[in-house]
Structure 1
Amino acid sequence: MRPIEALLEIIRDEGVTRIFGNPGTTELPLMDALVEAPDLEYVLGLQEGSVVAMADGYARASRRPAFVSLHVAAGVANGLIGMLNALRSRTPLVIVAGQQDRRHLIQDPMLSGDLVGLASAATKLAIEVQHARDLPIVLRRAFALAARPPAGPVLVSVPMDLLEEDTDVTVPARSPVSGPGPAAAGAADAAALLASAERPVVIAGDAVGRTGSVQALVAVAERLGATVYHQPMNDGIDFPGGHPLYAGMLPPRNAVIRQTLAAHDVALIVGCHAFMPHHYTPGPAVPDGLEIVQVDEDPAEIGRNFAVRHGLTGDLGGTLRALADQLDGRVPSARERAERIGAITARTRAEAESAARDAYGPAPMDPRAAAHAVADGLPDDAVVVEEAITAGLALRAVLRQDRPGSYVHAVGGGLGWGIGAAVGTRLGDPGRPVVAVLGDGCAMFGLQGLWSASRYQVPVAFVVMNNGEYRTLKNTLDESKGASAEHGRYVGMDLAPPALDWQSAARVFGMDALRAGSAAELRDAVASVKDLTAPLLIEAPITGHGR
């Protein structure tokens, strides 16, 4: 079997049915071979950032590694932002990047470069294949490593001439891997500490949702009667948003996290990557005296940024079920605690709902009203793909989603991910409506993804929260200076003039668009996406600084 034939055989065997890419000369052997491979759909993106974002959304929705094809050093460089997001979000990707012909690499030809060096910091592994006989085993290793916890992207650099060789290579069989490993030892001791708590708290990390362990965590929280928070800027649903014990997301600042956790005596931290603060504040995230039980599938997370009393490494679902069994009937006050917490969360939610509804009105809308309109209009079982920095925080305050996979975010921070990720999400799970909530600044970083949505008629609603500025930068600057929102001029933080014309942008890429003239119109537009058969851009003008 020739190398190019081996590549196609392996990706088929690994469950790949779609290749996300943007081709160049080094991909010509692959593109030529795909003519005779109708079972492998090539999903074209116009820029590598959008390509990797589509693969990211697809991998999360389909729950298996996605396959990406990039072109030489420039393509890898463009795709780095997506790799960084995938690495932080633990998304399994296998990326094959075409390298220049080995026969003249010594001459430093155009388009060549150190692909491994470029990608190493944004992947679990980057490796270049030098011999055709090694390609099959390297690809098998790449798929296994991408999926192994903690999951992430793996890049394989393949010289163009290697794929063209008329050499017989052997394809190793796929090695079946059993399901999740055993539950962690030590559940009895950890449960004893948790049961002794008077004010327990649970922090649900994104590994909970990724591993399908949400219900197991719910059982633990209910048997403790514990307040539950999502980790800062959570990527998905790790605890039901409508549950009475759920108190929202921890803000990504150590000082606020420390203040919040200071009200508790014992914390259970599950599947959380070390809190990952955003803006710097002095001091640690964990207050003195807080006893911690940490559970994770990745041993490197245990005690990474704070000391723990009990660190449990193993299958999250199995470990949480063991904890729940140990806690069954051991906390007589759990029901009373739960009722008290539920009353607080109900009041907090009612206040957020009331404030958002009171802010309803014509465009430009209050961001709270726009966020509420999106949440209120969501069709049943819809997936929200969110990349809206400030409007996204308002959305989190009113969104009540319970099903894992219903909310998708990128904690990596590389902007331009949202449009492509939404396309990939709908391709990976075509039975669920997808609504992408995008900041106008974020959307401009990944605008090319709209072309792919239109090209493949992917029925996604792209809601662009348009405030004509980098609102998060102004907020951060105001906070750092202790100034009011009217303190003066900002440099490099405004997107108008000229104003971004989102209706024209949609038309450039061949899709329909509408402008919501009020919060009520926005709610109705979002509600209609259940019937979409093609992509739609919905512009939601919102108020910004000084408006």
Structure 2
Amino acid sequence: MNNDNTTTATPPTAARRLLEEASRLGVDCIFTNLGSDHPAFIEAFADIDAEDGRMPRIIVCPHEMTALSAAHGYAMRTRRPQMVLVHVDVGTQNLGCSIHNAARGRVPAIIVAGLSPVSVSGERVGSRTEFIHYTQDSTRQHEIGGQYMKWSYELRAAEMVDQVLMRGIQIATTAPEGPVYLTGAREVWDEPAAAPEQAQRHWQPARMAGLPEQDAQELVAALAAARKPLVITSYLGRDRESVRRLEALSDRLGFAVCEVNPQYVNFPGQHPHHIGYRRNTLVDEADVILMLDVDVPWIVSKVKPAANARLFHLDCDPLKDDMGFWHFPAERTWQADSAVALEQLLVLARATAIDDDARAARVEWIGAARQRLTLPDVPAPANGGIGLQQLCEAIGRLVNENTVVVFETPSATERLLPTLRLNRPGSYYANGGSGLGWSINAALGVKFAQPEAEVITVVGDGSYVFGVPSSTYWVGETYGAPQLTLIFNNGGWNAPKVSTLLVHPEGTAKRRDRYWTTVGARARLAEVATAAGNAAAFRVEQLAQLDATLQEALATVRGGRSAVVDIVLPPTSAQVLGEHAA
């Protein structure tokens, strides 16, 4: 009691302060797998819940792959970072390739992990009480995923929790965006955190600018004077306004746009200037190439730009300095905000006199290219089975204005995307990294962020297994986030086979059909989701039943229950693994 007989309120713990501050700063969800380092958080959850206070929605995830991948999907939809709370070193390790995906996908995320307590004699709240506090006390926990983090920091004083969190969010949301990693010992999270509230306006992300005026004029002039101008992009569509501005600029100047491994809808798929989704397309024909928010515009061993082509690169991350060796030539390289830069270019283009005949010739070149780049039809298998083309066309019949496609079946990219040709920004998301297992979990985040969306996840059988579906569908059922999952089941992992044939096109592996990848040949994949999360399981092998099965599955999802359709395609290999082998 004070001398004036007033009661001094007990300051909140650092854990509670973190939760309340996260909510104030716009974090909607905490995706978590809790452990022995989290008593302060669990107590804070309970206290805030009992008092009907404010904190982010708590989404418990049986596996950390689900946690960070769902936060990834949520951030793609909203551009706002979500929080992932994991258990010391082992929980951090369980994040696995989802850390790589968040970094390569340039999505903001706040990863918080505990540290083993240091005090051993019970002198502090949170001191060591279990044997694992010794075995989990690693010396360099932050290094587990350090190379993929924009910033890693240990909270050392409870009263600094607000400022550490705000700096983390500021760094995570400054382009190029990415994950940050915050840690704190168990005792620190349980300490009182009395500190004045920070002014949010003082912790805003640093903003990128556009192009120098002279450079913008040079770029517009180059595009306007080109005979065969080409723009290549992958992740421009993270900002939907950029998509509209690129479309308007292409309408004005008449240049081709190619999306390579798109992570978003970057350009309307049905626009007459869209030349498809195949990497290396027209690279050797173009006389001006603008690389625009893209990591790998072409494969150097397969194609090279013409010797006299003018090359430009405009990107939020033009040097890729978190990658190893990387280089694509460009006479001008700009680190800039694509939305700002495109608005500059559009204003200049509208003020520039355009040679109608030259523009018409460019458009004619684009039209001719579209014709010759059209994929030939592939008939369905003779046995009445389902071919890749027929499956992609059937998916196209499911898509409507409320559909969001979450995609992770790399070997189907060149057939599915040209079939769907999605136009609406925000209707498509794909992984910016190469850590498989992302899609079924990212779909949860998309659904949490946009509950009214009909989320259709297109996933290969290998990616589905990597995604830990026993965790995914438990979360979807528990928290009301149904998705329609379509498994492209070719009996194994096709990507290693493709990679092998690219290096050894006539090797022994091809001659003997031996790739050691047919891990899904006998699995009942959809039933995993049924056991874990009450999802409706379907399996379809015949083309005659495909449309009806997909429609029934979609109706199930519209009724509030996830559905997984295991779609049997021609096998990637006839090899039989294990004791069943001949």
One-letter amino acid of the counterpart of residue 213, structure 1: S
Give the alignment partner of residue 185 of structure 2, picking from 151, 159, 162: 159
Secondary structure of 2:144's counterpart equals helix
Aligned 8 A contact 2:86 2:92 in 1: yes
Query: Percent same amino acid at aligned positions?
Result: 24
Between 1:500-509 and 1:437-446, the stretch displaced more is 500-509
Which structure's relative contact order is higher, taking Cα pairs within 8 Å and 6+ residues apart? 1
Q: Give the structure 1 partner of residue 311 of structure 2.
A: 292
Match of 1:388 in 2: 409
Q: Matches of 1:422 and 1:207 in 2, distance apart?
A: 20
Contact 1:150 1:297 in 2 (8 A): yes
1:321 and 2:340 matched: no
Q: Is the 8 A contact 1:211 1:316 kept in 2?
A: no
For 1:68, the equivalent position in structure 2 comes to: 84
2: CA distance, partners of 1:361 / 1:377: 25
Aligned pairs (5 A) from 1:263-342: 263-275=285-297, 282=301, 286-298=305-317, 300=319, 305-328=327-350, 329-332=353-356, 333-342=358-367
Cα offset, 1:263, TM superposition: 0.3
Query: Residues of 2 paired with 1:276 and 1:11: CA distance?
Result: 41
Bigger mean CA offset, 196-205 vs 20-29: 196-205
What residue in structure 2 maps to residue 508 of structure 1?
531
CA RMSD of aligned residues (A): 2.8
**More deviation in 9-18 or 332-341?**
332-341
Q: Deviations over 1:486-534 (max 9, x none)?
A: 621424311156x111243132112111123434543444456262412
Aligned to 1:215: 244
Equivalent in the alignment of 1:457: 480
**1:543 matched to 2:565:** no
Report whether the alignment pairs 1:26 with 2:50: no
TM-score, normalised on structure 1? 0.90
Indicate how the Cα distance of structure 1 residues 429 and 243 shifts in structure 2: closer, same or farther if over 3 A, else same: same
The 3-state SS of whatever aligns with 1:201 is strand
**Highest CA radius of gyration, 1 or 2?**
2
Q: Secondary structure at the match of 2:389?
A: helix
Q: Does 1:202 align with 2:213?
A: no
In 2, distance between residues paired with 1:396 and 1:505? 28
- Over 3 Å counting, the alpha-carbon distance change for 1:390 and 1:167 in structure 2 is closer
Q: 560, 565, 582: which is aligned to 1:533?
A: 560
Question: Contact 2:233 / 2:292 at 8 angstroms: preserved in 1?
Answer: yes
Structure 1 residue 167, shift from structure 2 partner: 4.6
Bigger mean CA deviation after superposition, 265-274 or 36-45 = 36-45
Residue 254 of structure 1: aligned partner: none
> Which secondary structure does the structure 1 equivalent of 2:181 belong to?
strand
For the Cα contact (< 8 Å) 1:116–1:126, is it kept in 2?
Answer: yes
Q: How many Å apart are 1:203 and its aligned residue?
A: 1.0
Change (3 A) 1:130 1:461: same
- The partner residue of 1:79 within 95, 103, 124 is 95
1:29-428 equivalence runs, <5 A: 29-38=40-49, 39=54, 40-103=56-119, 109-113=134-138, 114-175=140-201, 177=204, 181-185=208-212, 186-210=215-239, 212-231=241-260, 233-251=261-279, 257=280, 260-275=282-297, 282=301, 286-298=305-317, 300=319, 305-328=327-350, 329-332=353-356, 333-342=358-367, 344-345=369-370, 348-349=373-374, 351-352=375-376, 355=377, 358-359=379-380, 364-428=385-449
Q: Which residue of 2 aligns with 1:12?
A: 23
Q: 3-state SS of the aligned residue for 2:517?
A: coil
Question: Structure 1 64/508 Cα, relative in aligned 2: closer, same or farther at 3 Å?
Answer: same
Give the AA of the match of 2:174: R
User: Match for 1:290: what amino acid?
Assistant: A
SS class of match (1:212): helix
Change (3 A) 1:133 1:180: closer
Alignment-mate amino acid for residue 117 of structure 1 = E
Asked whether the equivalents of residues 460 and 532 of structure 1 are also in contact (C-alpha less than 8 Å), the reply is no
- What residue number does 2:8 align with? none
CA distance in 2, matches of 1:274, 1:247: 17
CA deviations on 1:434-465 (whole Å, 9 max, x unpaired) are 00011111111112212211222312001111
In 2 relative to 1, CA 543–514 (structure 1 residues): closer, same or farther, beyond 3 Å? same
Q: Distance in 1 between matches of 2:545 and 2:242?
A: 37
CA separation in 1, counterparts of 2:372 and 2:547?
24
Shift of 1:217: 0.8
Structure 1 residue 306, shift from structure 2 partner: 3.1
8 Å Cα contact 1:382/1:434 also seen in 2: yes
SS at structure 2 position matched to 1:459: coil
Counterpart-to-counterpart distance in 2, 1:506 and 1:44: 17
| Residue 472 (str. 1) matches residue 501 (str. 2) | no
SS in structure 2 at match of 1:109: helix
Q: How many residues align?
A: 532
Q: Is the 1:373–1:520 contact (alpha carbons within 8 Å) kept by the matching residues of 2?
A: no
Q: 1:453 to 1:208 in 2, by over 3 A?
A: closer
Q: What is the CA distance between 1:542 and its match in structure 2? A: 0.7
Q: What SS does the aligned partner of 1:260 have?
A: coil
Counterpart contact for 1:363–1:519, Cα < 8 Å: yes
Q: CA deviation at 1:63?
A: 2.5
Distance 1:115 1:284 in 2: 42
Structure 1 residues 439, 274: closer, same or farther in 2, change over 3 A?
Answer: closer
Per the TM alignment, residue 475 of structure 1 is displaced from its structure 2 partner at its CA by 2.3
Distance 2:183 2:544 in 1: 51
| Equivalent in the alignment of 1:495 | 519
Residues 439 and 304 of structure 1: CA distance in aligned 2, closer, same or farther (over 3 Å)? closer
Shift, 1:118, TM fit = 1.0
Q: Which amino acid aligns with 1:235?
A: Q
